[in-house]
């Protein structure tokens, strides 16, 4: 445990967040997500909700302001306009914690998979609610 740092952030996760640079992306995935086969770097957080993880990650990581959609979620299969409960939570947490405002954008399931495969890391949480997945793009901290 460290002073002022959310204790659900493991040493491996702190390392990844600090090693990421401008434009790198990280996936917060739910418990059913195929994180091992898709993640270039997999960080497990079984037993932690995606919401709690999002809050912890955004407390340290700036969002990218060079792009339109620095935070994207997975659309419900067959109902792309639906807003699952987990996604509603995510938007509220972004509004509350992020260093810059961002409106979540939904993308199709397999487009989400392709982007996850190219991401810097995947955090596999224990989130049991379906569609509890979000991709965040890291921004810049000025001088």
DSSP lists the bridge partners of residue 27 as 122, 135
Query: How far apart are the C-alpha atoms of 31 and 143, rounded to whole Å?
Result: 38
Query: How far apart are the C-alpha atoms of 125 and 103, rounded to whole Å?
Result: 22
CB 141 within 8 A of CB 62: yes
In angstroms, what is the minimal distance from the CB of 25 to a copy of itself?
9
Closer to a copy of itself at the Cβ: 7 or 96? 7
In angstroms, what is the minimal distance from the CB of 88 to a copy of itself?
15
Closer to a copy of itself at the Cβ: 66 or 82? 66
* Active-site amino acid positions: 22, 64, 113
Q: Residues 6 or more apart from 43 whose CB is under 8 A from it?
A: 10, 12, 13, 16, 121, 122, 123, 124
In angstroms, what is the minimal distance from the CB of 72 to a copy of itself?
18
Which residue ranges make up the site for a copy of itself (CB under 8 A)?
1-5, 7-12, 14-24, 31-38, 44-48, 52, 59-62, 66, 77, 99, 120, 124, 126, 128-130, 140-143
């Amino acid at each position: 445990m460290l002073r002022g740092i959310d204790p659900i952030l493991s040493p491996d996760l702190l390392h990844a967040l600090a090693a990421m640079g401008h434009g790198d992306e990280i996936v917060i995935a739910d418990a059913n997500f195929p994180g091992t086969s898709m993640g270039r770097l997999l960080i497990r957080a079984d037993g932690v909700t995606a919401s709690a993880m999002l809050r912890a990650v955004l407390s340290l990581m700036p969002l990218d302001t060079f792009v339109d959609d620095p935070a994207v979620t997975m659309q419900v299969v067959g109902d792309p306009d639906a807003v699952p409960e987990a996604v509603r939570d995510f938007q509220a947490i972004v509004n509350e914690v992020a260093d810059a405002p961002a409106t979540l954008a939904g993308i199709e399931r397999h487009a989400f998979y392709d982007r996850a495969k190219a991401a810097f890391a995947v955090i596999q949480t224990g989130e049991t609610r379906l569609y509890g997945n979000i991709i965040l793009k890291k921004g810049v901290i000025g001088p």
